[in-house]
Amino acid sequence: MDKEVRQLVDMGVTPAQARAALKKYKDVMEAAEKIFAGDFDNVNEVNTDRAQRSQANSGASDRAQDVNMNDEDDDEEIEEDEGSDAYMDYFSDDDGGQPKSPGAAKLNDPYAGIFFSKDRREEVIEVEEEPVFVAVPECDQKLEVMTQGKWMAGCPEGSEQTFLFSLYSQLSESQLSSVDGICPCPSGCGQSVKRQQSDFFAVYPDFTTYIKHLRKIVPRTCTKCQTEFCLACGEKISQQTSDPLWHCSNLQGVILGVGLYMIEKQFEQQKEQIETRDTTERESKRRKTRDSDDDDYPTQKKGGIGYAGNVKEDSSGQAEVQAIQFAKDTRIQNLLAEVRVYLPSLQRAGGARSSDYLPHPSSLTHLRRRFNLIASELLRNDSLADMSDRHGLYFELLEWLETISSHESLCSMMPMPIMKSISQQTLVKKTSNSPTRERKIIYEGSPSPRELLEAIALQAQAALKGLECSKAPEDPSPEPTEEQKRKAVHDTKGKSKDTLPDNLDETAKLYSFCDRLLATTVQIDRSLRELKGDEFVKRMHESLPKAYTSASDTIYVDAGDTEDDAKEAYVKWASSSRFEYCDLTIPATDESDETINYKHYFNNEIRMLANSNIPKRSVAIAKELAILTTNLPIAWDSSIFLRVDDTRVDVIKCLITGPEGTPYHNGCFLFDVFLGANYNQSPPSVKYMTTSGGKYRFNPNLYADGKVCLSLLGTWTGPGWVPFKSTLLQVLISIQSMILCEEPYLNEPGWASSAGTAASRAYSANCRRMVVKAAMLENLQNPPEPFEDVIKTHFRLKARSIQRQLDEWLREDDGRALASDGGEYSGPGRNSSQSSSNGFKADIDTLKGLLRDL
């Protein structure tokens, strides 16, 4: 019965319900119909297991009441299921410390101890057949026919392969069986019709033509007894059936399979075009660079930041690229909308059909292996702004997710890991007729649709906060209700929801898109809660990505016993701590002053913009926050941390840890950032704060007075800020990678050709002395707000590594005195003595003591 149980579980029922229904109704489809009708709603794992054990051990009636025995039996049965049932492969048997024994907790939570796990790999052999083309009356050209190999490609699940194979064999002729493809008259008159592969599996130029073709061939009339029947299932067609394509679940399965194949094919074609275009552009740039070597642009050797020239960014052709992208998105959007009509839906306009209540088993298979891959590609887009600009395509994607999550037999795929191909190997198998190509493909679990959606939802929440915080408090318009907020995108009478009105300004469009996206996540969770229970959804949320934490959420992170443990702990901690909202205000001392002060270098500029409402600036800040919440770089080698004021999201403080391999390694460098009145038409204001009170100049581009020289900020020559395209994240990464670089000496104009010289080495040695004194020691002794916890945790988790780094720096030190201006090289090389008399060793010893205290 295991096979039948797996089939029912794939439809969305519980194993207990499946076993109980199959015991009473031997036919799988009949059992499924009774389950969905509610006949087995009161069945759960506990009473089913006890009943089975009671029947198997009729001589020991008291065993069902023995708690210890029940615990052992339950554990044994779970282990047996995990070894034999394919559906259990999606779950991990790690319950996070929760008991598996049946009791009150299990009665309330039948899924206790079970959650979807990505730690899974499957190896599958797929047959690669020669393409087949057929001529059809509706088209002037021959059409591709989905072979059995293409129909079943991308499916790593054994039970699902059975469903696909069965439906394909039933609806097409086969050389292996004389029964496949035969559709007998249901009246029993003896007549039959031979189904051809091209009847259901021909890939037409567009989906509409394919549907017209099916409407033409599906209704059949027996030439002998004049009985009307369906070519897909072979059963009689009722006279009341208005559309023959809703007659049976077989049609639903094949329409979704072919339709999703069309979408996948078009999507892959567009990806190939983009990759080809990108390759062409890169090659074109390389040719221009080679040609310029002989002209006005001499070849630059290793030279620091690389933006000290007069080259300007070429922004021509952007409008053309956007128009091409819009046309491609529209084609995919329209195709998705056409295929979505045939998704199982109990909220269908005009009432649900029989296949909506009882979908074909292959429907879930098609969605998991084809739609999931398309959805994952779109949801991996790390730019909420780009999604909002392409809202038509993304609104249609959200419609799919909402429709799927609303159906109880499909909803389970939302938290289920997407099995993606990670490698494939082509094999050639010799046969008597011709060689058969096979592919060995390895599939691996990857983030689920719900997990991918969460990453975008975090950006949407940040964007909405940016829009709200940028509003003037004096705004006379009342706060809209949740219903009013969703009015532009949530019509309840079947109106189109795949576009936004053209007359909406950019603020309203971004607001509506974010609100719609968050509404989709709420609906998915609500459906899962109804199907799986509150505890299941709670465990799912605990495994979803988190964009940021608050000070109240701070917890101690253990560095572990080895450096590998420390690296893992560091990345996990930094990922949850890189972005936080906090209070950067200064408590008022004068009650008459109503304008708030901030712990920030740009306090005066911030106060001047209090209560301002600049719509374009608000949208730019909202998009910026959306990017920053999930895209700040985090690594053991170097990370970027941000703190944003809770009520003024244009007020920002940043901490960058120095990259490995540079004289800035593991130092903590602070910057005050303000998104001014003209942001994003103009770059942000950035001030460097780790200067020991204006004493030290760490880099030719980091002045002792806090000035940051960077072309993006307009304080240096080279490609500058591009309005509404450049971002604060670009600025921060440029500082991290181009200014805090391996040889800072080369950043000074005129010194770019001095790589590896004694002067460059002396400059780096002096930088290391400044880093230890100011960016390490002073930051630990007097941690600046609001990064005290970040700085202490950074040094504590990396203490062992930093101590080795300090020993190496001391050995490499040249013994010169600390120079506050960067220490341009003058005089002979390193002192002959291995000891340091310049105070460097004393600073290192003090720092090591603080590290040991941590």
The stretch 332-342 carries a mean pLDDT of 95
Per-residue pLDDT at 822: 58
Quickly state the pLDDT bin for 669 (edges 50, 70, 90).
very high
Residue 104: both structure tokens together:
């009150």
pLDDT band of residue 427 (cuts 50, 70, 90) is: confident
Q: Is 700 exposed, middle or buried (0-12, 13-18, 19+ CB in 10 A)?
A: buried
Are 811 and 598 spatial neighbours (Cβ–Cβ below 8 Å)?
no
For residues 515 and 288, the model is more confident at 515
What pLDDT shows up at residue 46?
A: 41
- Look at 324 and 309; give whichever has higher pLDDT: 324
Catalogue the active-site residues: 709
Say which residue, 458 or 32, is predicted with more confidence: 458
Positive or negative: CA dihedral 17, 23, 27, 31: negative
| pLDDT given at position 294 | 47
Mean pLDDT of 260-268: 90
The percent helix, strand, coil of the chain (3-state, each to 5) is 50, 10, 40
Judged by average pLDDT, the poorest of 5-19, 479-493, 622-636 is 479-493
- Mean pLDDT (whole number) for 97-119: 55
Residue 804's identity, in one-letter code, is R
Within 8 A by CB and 6+ apart from 842, the residues are none
Give the pLDDT score at 779: 95
Query: Which of the listed ranges 286-295, 370-379, 486-495, 684-693 does the model predict with the highest average pLDDT?
Result: 684-693
Nearest to 409 by CA among 9, 76, 701: 9
Q: What is the pLDDT of residues 508-547, one digit of tens each?
A: 888 899 999 999 999 999 999 988 888 888 888 888 877 6
Predicted confidence (pLDDT) at residue 831 exceeds the cutoff of 60:
no
Domain boundaries, the chain: 2-118, 122-247, 255-292+320-416+448-543, 551-853
pLDDT tops 50 at residue 94: no
763-769 average pLDDT score: 94
pLDDT tops 70 at residue 101: no
Joined tokens for residue 563: 């450096």
Residue 739 half-sphere exposure, CB side, CA atoms within 13 Å?
A: 25
Average pLDDT, the chain: 79
Please give the pLDDT value at position 100: 41
Q: What is residue 789's predicted lDDT score, i.e. its pLDDT?
A: 93
| Confidence at residue 262, expressed as pLDDT on a 0 to 100 scale | 94
CATH of domain 551-853: 3.10.110.10
* Tokens read off for 779: 């930051």
Tens of pLDDT along 607-626? 998 888 888 898 999 999 98
Confidence of residue 60 (pLDDT cuts 50, 70, 90): very low
pLDDT at 305 over 90: no
Per residue in 371-406, pLDDT tens?
998 999 899 887 888 888 888 999 999 999 999 999
d(CA 847, CA 803) in angstroms, rounded, equals: 9
Pick from 702, 603, 611, 721: which is nearest to 653 by CA? Answer: 603
Between CA 49 and CA 56 the distance in angstroms is 11
**Amino acid 87: pLDDT:** 34
| Two tokens, residue 218 | 């599906």
Residue 85 has a pLDDT of 36
Least confident range from 115-124, 480-489, 569-578: namely 480-489
**Average of per-residue pLDDT across 67-89:** 37
Please state the pTM of the whole predicted model. 0.73
30-34, 331-335, 702-706: least confidently modelled range: 30-34
Instruction: Return the H-helix or E-strand segment holding 278.
Output: helix 249-292
Give the lowest-confidence range in 491-505, 727-741, 794-808: 491-505
Decide if pLDDT at 828 tops 60: no
Nearest to 819 by CA among 766, 752, 772: 766
**How many Å apart are CA 73 and CA 161, to the nearest integer?**
32
End-to-end CA distance of the chain: 60
Higher pLDDT, 35 or 455: 455
Mean pLDDT in residue range 460-477: 71
DSSP 359: -
Average pLDDT of the residues in 692-715: 91
Q: What is the per-residue pLDDT for 64?
A: 35
Q: Letter for the amino acid at 228?
A: E
pLDDT at 489: 39
Q: How far apart are CA 387 and CA 381, in angstroms?
A: 8
pLDDT single digits (tens) 736-762: 999 999 999 988 877 777 888 999 999
